[in-house]
């Protein structure tokens, strides 16, 4: 008998013992009386112990080697569940499953109890979570820094077709993955005034006398890489008052006043801002940004000084990546800490700041670019405002010294926007304070150079660079789709799991094997059946798993054009009704996504999806040919169920608006075919996969740009030229889908004619044609599944390991 099974049995037994111990001594329950949630906690704690061993080893190693550290500053980490992620990366998933079966506990059932850690809005937050996992996998010494929001992104309920926001309470049952570090505390100050003093040598020194100070308390979550490669730390800050209770006030009888200060302090980490496309502009948001940036910088400087006698080599030992402009106050805060607290000369501090910081831009949408009013800045962060003015003055002086006097140029590159009330441009601040400024796909980076940062780019032509996004295959393939993963391992060997970038390509020849294609289609059907069950359970809608699952899941935004997809849905509905005998490909249109609470147009689009769904799903003429489903409360866990079940992936943003997209890569990895515009990373997908295995349509970003310049978005001519589009718009406008309120969509439709900013009408016919190509291929299953397999085979480049290797090599200088 071989050793292997024995060793494995021993592991299973050991894990079972560990879980029972946790259940007894940490949870305080005996197995007879344990609820499922108690088991969840016990299993998570047992898994965490395994991480802790690796964690400490890894941390010691980094110290010993004095390895360069990467600090990833992000207001969002959209993590999702961690149980399978941790077990799977530790190689313990099967062991745990077996161990629990022995205790009559079904691990899969327990998995579903874990709430999603939804500390992010969408793509930007999920990218941060994928990056953390990849950095651990690659052995990069990384620390994620963010906020431990008590409430993550709201839960979306759909009531009578309308979105309602409900409070999210992920911490209600505690969080077994985190360690509170009650001893890791930093003071964070706000407001007050600045006084100029002179030190012994007569040098002027600025002293900030703040009006208010709160505490930042650290909570650490270990992040384990694939096969336990290394374990990094995600450190999230919680805001606490300096004093829990103002005793003097309390004793004087002012009971409310005594706790008001506590409430004000703690509100900083109370809730995630749920908008991802319009600038919040609110004081609390700026407090959040400064709070976590200051705590993180104080923490990393202290760590640096523990290891080094000086801060002068900071840039050699630390790289700080700013995830969008949200942490960009770091430029001023680092300067303040270096100059005011550590007493470095301004020029030295500036050089260190620029050499240490790097900035990633994630959107070009003008309404999402952060600016803060000078007045608010002066009130909340008076010393920082002074520093920003100084940076701006040196910057403008340097340009003048270079002979640049053009008023338009100087206005464009200034840190202060003058024409819209005086405001600080955080994008320009991040740009100037960083040695690297990157976009997240080739097209996006190109547009950064030619639009928002055009003038700054001319002055600093080396600074802007591209790092096309990626996704972690561990979560998005291995955990989300075990049957497909097993097929890949059978076909390519287990090495595919360790290096899919290299090995996945070897799947190409399998695309020509009918037996493999059949098995590929089978595993898809398996996922579709599971999703059909979920749809049945949650919505009471029956869908046929054999029908084409046509899926668009993402935040609801006009530029993402869910409306275009809905217009196609109605066009298809009308065409089927007109000719029910035609050979239609049965389809299920699946939508999911949250709208920002204040984004009325996006909420109306959700209502429209639900209105169309009700009418279509109850119309016997299209039965069996078309169903429409809006799944509420899209989140990471729901994505893990939906994506493996998709046949068609909708990536149809107006060209030039989607910085990258990352769900496009997730769908492609599972072998869904993409219908999409030449936008964001769809462009790179096209290069990798081949345009003949995608359905590309629509105006290019250049054509979009030209229309924007001309001021004519061409809706009326598009409607005039397309009876189909006209019929669709008339039906929606006339109340066919809203008989209870026939005027509901009049405004929505009428606004398109003068101002179809996202070119829904202009692209409609091209989209309809592309959808006909989809149907045609669907009717040729051999070719459909050949393309599907090739999509999976050619998606290796989109691993976030590749992305992180590029950051580490080209921005951070952190490759061993």
Q: Which is nearer to ligand 26V, 314 or 464 (CB)?
A: 464
C-beta separation of 736 from 713 below 8 A: no
User: Judged by CB under 6 A, does residue 291 bind ligand 26V?
Assistant: no
Q: Which is nearer to ligand 26V, 69 or 326 (CB)?
A: 326
Residue among 503, 554, 568, 733 flagged as catalytic: 554
- 49 phi and psi, to 5 degrees? -55, -40
What are the strands, taking DSSP E only, across 544-615? 548-553, 587-592
Region binding ligand 26V by CB under 6 A among candidate stretches 58-66, 254-262, 306-314, 652-660: 652-660
Query: The sheet that has 416-417: what strands, in order across it?
Result: 371-373, 423-425, 416-417
Q: For residue 376, count CB atoms less than 10 angstroms from its CB and return exposed for 0-12, middle for 13-18, buried for 19 or more.
A: middle
User: Judged by CB under 6 A, does residue 329 bind ligand 26V?
Assistant: no
Candidate residues 271, 331, 659, 752; the one interacting with ligand 26V per rule CB under 6 A: 659
* Beta-bridge mates of residue 239: 216
Region binding ligand 26V by CB under 6 A among candidate stretches 118-126, 419-427, 456-464, 473-481: 118-126
User: Minimal distance in Å, beta carbon 596 to ligand 26V?
Assistant: 8
User: Minimal distance in Å, beta carbon 444 to ligand 26V?
Assistant: 8
User: Judged by CB under 6 A, does residue 324 bind ligand 26V?
Assistant: yes
- List binders of ligand 26V among 573-602 (CB under 6 A): none
Residue among 69, 155, 362, 557 flagged as catalytic: 362
C-beta separation of 555 from 639 below 8 A: no
User: Judged by CB under 6 A, does residue 658 bind ligand 26V?
Assistant: yes
CB-closest chain residue to ligand 26V: 123
Contact letters (x/-) for ligand 26V, 719-748, by CB under 6 A? ------------------------------
Nearest to 128 by CA among 227, 272, 297, 302: 272
Q: Which is nearer to ligand 26V, 496 or 704 (CB)?
A: 704
The token duo for 676 is 């999409």
Q: Which is nearer to ligand 26V, 127 or 629 (CB)?
A: 127
Q: For residue 751, what are the contacts with CB-CB under 8 A and spacing of at least 6?
A: none
CA distance 772 to 584: 10
Helix (H, G, I), strand (E, B) or coil at 143: strand
Q: For residue 517, what are the contacts with CB-CB under 8 A and spacing of at least 6?
A: 511, 782, 785, 786, 788, 789
User: Judged by CB under 6 A, does residue 469 bind ligand 26V?
Assistant: yes
CA distance 405 to 402: 9
Contact letters (x/-) for ligand 26V, 228-267, by CB under 6 A? ----------------------------------------
Region binding ligand 26V by CB under 6 A among candidate stretches 133-141, 162-170, 361-369, 701-709: 361-369
User: Judged by CB under 6 A, does residue 288 bind ligand 26V?
Assistant: no
User: Judged by CB under 6 A, does residue 479 bind ligand 26V?
Assistant: no
Nearest to 231 by CA among 335, 85, 366: 85
DSSP letter string, 458-522: HHSTTTEEE----B-HIIIIIIT-HHHHHHHHHHH-THHHH-HHHHGGGGGGGGG-HHHHHHHHH
User: Minimal distance in Å, beta carbon 284 to ligand 26V?
Assistant: 11
Region binding ligand 26V by CB under 6 A among candidate stretches 117-125, 195-203, 385-393, 402-410: 117-125
Nearest to 462 by CA among 365, 354, 364: 354
C-beta separation of 671 from 789 below 8 A: yes
User: Judged by CB under 6 A, does residue 368 bind ligand 26V?
Assistant: yes
- Catalytic residue check, 518: no
Candidate residues 129, 132, 286, 440; the one interacting with ligand 26V per rule CB under 6 A: 440
Residue among 560, 594, 786, 794 flagged as catalytic: 560
CA distance 120 to 228: 25
User: Minimal distance in Å, beta carbon 685 to ligand 26V?
Assistant: 13
User: Minimal distance in Å, beta carbon 499 to ligand 26V?
Assistant: 24
- 239 phi and psi, to 5 degrees? -90, 130
CA distance 762 to 778: 26
User: Judged by CB under 6 A, does residue 273 bind ligand 26V?
Assistant: yes
User: Judged by CB under 6 A, does residue 680 bind ligand 26V?
Assistant: yes
User: Judged by CB under 6 A, does residue 382 bind ligand 26V?
Assistant: no
Residue among 353, 662, 674, 792 flagged as catalytic: 662
User: Judged by CB under 6 A, does residue 279 bind ligand 26V?
Assistant: yes
User: Judged by CB under 6 A, does residue 222 bind ligand 26V?
Assistant: no
The token duo for 810 is 């080209």
- Catalytic residue check, 666: yes
C-beta separation of 381 from 459 below 8 A: no
User: Minimal distance in Å, beta carbon 221 to ligand 26V?
Assistant: 21
Candidate residues 80, 122, 139, 176; the one interacting with ligand 26V per rule CB under 6 A: 122
Candidate residues 12, 100, 127, 496; the one interacting with ligand 26V per rule CB under 6 A: 127
Candidate residues 392, 481, 651, 662; the one interacting with ligand 26V per rule CB under 6 A: 662
- Catalytic residue check, 50: no
C-beta separation of 415 from 432 below 8 A: yes
User: Minimal distance in Å, beta carbon 125 to ligand 26V?
Assistant: 7
User: Judged by CB under 6 A, does residue 361 bind ligand 26V?
Assistant: no
The DSSP element (H or E) to which 798 belongs, if any, is none
User: Judged by CB under 6 A, does residue 661 bind ligand 26V?
Assistant: yes
CA distance 465 to 441: 10
Residue among 666, 670, 733, 794 flagged as catalytic: 666
C-beta separation of 801 from 137 below 8 A: yes
Q: Which is nearer to ligand 26V, 575 or 597 (CB)?
A: 597
How many angstroms separate the most distant Cα atoms in the chain? 93
- 231 phi and psi, to 5 degrees? -125, 120
Q: Which is nearer to ligand 26V, 363 or 738 (CB)?
A: 363
| HEC string for 283-352 | HHHHHHHHHHHHHHHHHHHHHHHHHCCCCCCHHHHEEEEEECCCCCCHHHHHHHHHHHHCCCCHHHHHHH
User: Judged by CB under 6 A, does residue 470 bind ligand 26V?
Assistant: no
- 372 phi and psi, to 5 degrees? -125, 140
C-beta separation of 591 from 553 below 8 A: yes
Candidate residues 85, 116, 261, 276; the one interacting with ligand 26V per rule CB under 6 A: 276
Q: Which is nearer to ligand 26V, 110 or 286 (CB)?
A: 286
- Catalytic residue check, 342: no
Region binding ligand 26V by CB under 6 A among candidate stretches 57-65, 273-281, 628-636, 696-704: 273-281
User: Judged by CB under 6 A, does residue 121 bind ligand 26V?
Assistant: yes
- Catalytic residue check, 662: yes
- Catalytic residue check, 362: yes
Candidate residues 235, 238, 362, 733; the one interacting with ligand 26V per rule CB under 6 A: 362
Q: Could you tell me how many residues of this chain bind ligand 26V (CB under 6 A)?
A: 22
Q: Which is nearer to ligand 26V, 389 or 559 (CB)?
A: 559
CA distance 471 to 751: 37
Q: For residue 192, what are the contacts with CB-CB under 8 A and spacing of at least 6?
A: 208, 209, 210, 211, 212, 382
Residues serving a catalytic function are 362, 554-555, 560, 662, 666
Where along the sequence are the contacts to ligand 26V (CB under 6 A)? 121-124, 127, 273, 275-276, 279-280, 324, 362-363, 368, 440, 469, 658-662, 680
């Amino acid at each position: 008998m071989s050793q292997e099974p024995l060793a494995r049995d021993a592991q299973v037994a050991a894990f079972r013992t560990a879980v029972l111990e946790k259940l007894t001594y940490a949870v305080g329950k005996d197995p007879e009386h344990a609820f499922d949630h108690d088991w969840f906690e016990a299993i998570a704690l047992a898994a965490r112990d395994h991480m802790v061993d690796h964690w400490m080893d890894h941390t010691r190693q980094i110290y010993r080697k004095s390895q360069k550290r990467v600090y990833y500053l992000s207001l969002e980490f959209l993590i999702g569940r961690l149980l399978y992620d941790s077990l799977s990366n530790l190689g313990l998933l099967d062991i745990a499953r077996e161990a629990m079966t022995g205790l009559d506990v079904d691990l899969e059932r327990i998995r579903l109890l874990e709430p999603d850690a939804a500390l992010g809005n969408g793509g930007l937050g999920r990218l941060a979570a994928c990056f953390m996992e990849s950095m651990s996998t690659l052995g990069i010494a990384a620390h994620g820094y963010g906020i431990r929001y008590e409430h993550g992104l709201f839960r979306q309920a759909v009531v009578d077709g309308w979105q309602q926001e409900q409070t999210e309470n992920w911490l209600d049952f505690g969080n077994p993955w985190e360690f509170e570090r009650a001893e890791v505390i930093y003071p964070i100050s706000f407001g007050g005034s600045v006084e100029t003093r002179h030190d012994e040598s007569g040098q002027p020194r600025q002293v900030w006398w703040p009006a208010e100070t709160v505490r930042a308390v650290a909570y650490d979550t270990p992040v384990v890489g694939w096969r336990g490669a290394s374990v990094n730390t995600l450190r999230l800050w919680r805001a606490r008052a300096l004093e829990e209770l103002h005793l003097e006030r309390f004793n004087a009888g002012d009971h409310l006043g005594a706790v008001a200060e506590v409430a004000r302090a703690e509100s900083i980490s109370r809730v995630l801002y749920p908008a991802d496309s319009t600038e919040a502009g609110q004081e609390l948001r700026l407090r959040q940004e400064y709070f976590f940036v200051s705590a993180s910088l104080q923490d990393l400087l202290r760590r640096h000084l523990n290891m080094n006698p000086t801060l002068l080599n900071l840039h050699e030992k630390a790289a700080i990546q700013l995830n969008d402009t949200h942490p960009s106050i770091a430029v001023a805060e680092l300067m303040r800490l270096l100059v005011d607290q550590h007493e470095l000369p301004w020029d030295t501090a500036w050089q260190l700041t620029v050499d240490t910081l790097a900035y990633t831009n994630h959107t070009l949408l003008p309404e999402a670019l952060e600016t803060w009013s000078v007045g608010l800045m002066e009130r909340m962060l008076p010393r920082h405002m002074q520093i920003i003015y100084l940076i701006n003055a040196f910057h403008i002086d340097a340009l003048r010294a270079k002979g640049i006097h053009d008023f338009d140029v100087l206005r464009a590159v200034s840190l202060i926007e003058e024409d819209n009330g005086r405001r600080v441009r955080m994008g320009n601040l991040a740009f100037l304070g960083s040695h690297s400024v990157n976009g997240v796909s080739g097209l996006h980076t190109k547009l950064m150079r030619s639009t928002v940062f055009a003038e700054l780019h001319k002055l600093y032509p080396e600074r802007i660079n591209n790092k096309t996004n990626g996704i972690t295959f561990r979560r998005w393939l291995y955990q989300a789709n075990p049957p497909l993963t097993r097929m890949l391992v059978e076909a390519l060997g287990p090495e595919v799991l360790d290096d899919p970038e290299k090995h996945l390509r070897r799947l190409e020849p399998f695309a020509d094997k009918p037996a493999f294609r059949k098995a590929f289609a089978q595993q898809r059907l398996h996922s579709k059946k599971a999703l059909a069950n979920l749809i049945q359970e949650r919505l009471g809608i029956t869908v046929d798993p054999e029908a084409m699952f046509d899926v668009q899941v993402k935040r609801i935004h006009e530029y993402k054009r869910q409306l275009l997809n809905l217009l196609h849905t109605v066009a298809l509905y009308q065409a089927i009704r007109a000719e029910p005998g035609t050979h239609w490909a049965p389809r299920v249109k699946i939508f999911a996504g949250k709208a920002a609470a204040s984004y009325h147009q996006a909420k109306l689009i959700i209502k429209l999806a639900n209105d169309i769904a009700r009418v279509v799903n109850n119309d016997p003429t299209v039965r069996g040919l078309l169903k429409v489903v809006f799944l509420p409360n899209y989140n990471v866990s729901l994505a893990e169920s939906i994506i493996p079940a998709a046949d068609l992936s909708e990536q149809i943003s107006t060209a030039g608006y989607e910085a990258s997209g990352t769900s496009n890569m997730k769908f492609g990895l599972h072998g869904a075919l993409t219908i999409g515009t030449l936008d964001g990373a769809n462009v790179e997908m096209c290069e990798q996969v081949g345009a003949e295995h995608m359905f590309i349509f629509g105006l290019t970003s250049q054509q979009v740009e030209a229309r924007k310049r001309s001021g004519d978005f061409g809706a009326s001519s598009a409607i005039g030229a397309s009876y189909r589009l006209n019929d669709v718009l008339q039906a929606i406008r006339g109340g066919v889908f809203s008989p209870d309120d026939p005027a509901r969509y009049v405004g929505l439709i009428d606004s398109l004619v003068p101002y179809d900013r996202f070119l829904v009408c202009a692209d409609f016919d091209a989209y309809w044609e592309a959808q006909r190509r989809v149907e045609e291929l669907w009717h040729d299953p051999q070719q459909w599944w050949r393309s599907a397999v090739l999509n999976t085979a050619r998606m290796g480049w989109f691993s976030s390991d590749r992305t992180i290797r590029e950051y580490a090599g080209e921005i951070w200088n952190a490759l061993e």
